Amino acid sequence: EIVLTQSPATLSSSPGERATLSCRASQSVSSHLVWYQQKPGQAPRLLIYGASNGATGTPARFSGSGSGSDFTLTISSLEPEDSAVYYCQQRCDWPITFGQGTRLEIK
Amino acid sequence: EVQLVESGGGLVLPGGSLRLSCAASGFTFNSHWMSWVRQAPGKGLEWVASIKQDGSGQYYVDSVKGRFTISRDNAKNSLFLQMTSLRAEDTAIYYCARDRLQGRADDYWGQGTLVTVSA
């Protein structure tokens, strides 16, 4: 099973700042890495697929990068509505696995 | 508009069974892989099972193999999860999710149905 480790567990930043979230895989997942955003009481929302491709409706301030085993989700200029938990997911091999999540708090 | 609506959750005794349903609309159901993903209270996301477009292939997380069965009825645009031998650790919100047409990401999710396993 491919284990995904996200860091940091919690990130607290201010509006307008840049946020960098990390996801590391226990083995290569090529570019088959996905990022989701989940707000309290809501279902997850697809943000990025294929490591760096923005899903329909994803704001331009969100970008993904990386390949192999190290990936990054960057939010270039934080908005208050970006407060959420962000999960990475690997779609390289079965079983599909998720990281434990990074909670992003906007001060 | 794509919609996924789960139903069938509830309170069940340990060792009991439950069948979850997901009604899909607004897209060509038989063109997409479909999955179930769960989230225990206050915890992260856990993939449970996925099924191929025609139902010919199913995949499961180890913890549910032999107890859960994913299936679909393409004529009725419906996805199912038959859960047996339920345990307290199966308590979670269960989400139905649609795979992208090109695969490898879940682009639409339902709002979830809560399953509580408790005596």
Closest to A98 (Cβ–Cβ): which among B47, B104, B110? Answer: B47
Closest CA to A95 of A49, A42, A29: A29
Helices (H), A1-107: none
Closest to A91 (Cβ–Cβ): which among B46, B60, B105? Answer: B105
Residues of A in contact with B100 (CB under 8 A): 49
Q: Hey, is the C-beta of A10 within 8 angstroms of any chain B C-beta?
A: no
Q: What is the mean pLDDT of chain A?
A: 97
Residue B103 has pLDDT above 90, yes or no: no
For range B49-75, the mean pLDDT: 97
Rounded distance between C-alpha atoms, residue A107 and residue B28, angstroms: 42
Rounded distance between C-alpha atoms, residue A19 and residue B74, angstroms: 42
Q: Do A99 and B44 touch (CB under 8 A)?
A: yes
Per-residue pLDDT at A7: 96
Residue B109 has pLDDT above 90, yes or no: yes
For residue B112, how many other CB atoms are within 10 A of its CB? 21
Per-residue pLDDT at A31: 97
Per-residue pLDDT at A8: 97
Q: Do B61 and A95 touch (CB under 8 A)?
A: yes
Amino acid at B60: Y
DSSP strand pairing (B10-12 vs B113-117): parallel
Residues of A in contact with B70 (CB under 8 A): none
Contact A49, A63 (CB under 8 A): no
Closest CA to A85 of A33, A31, A38: A38
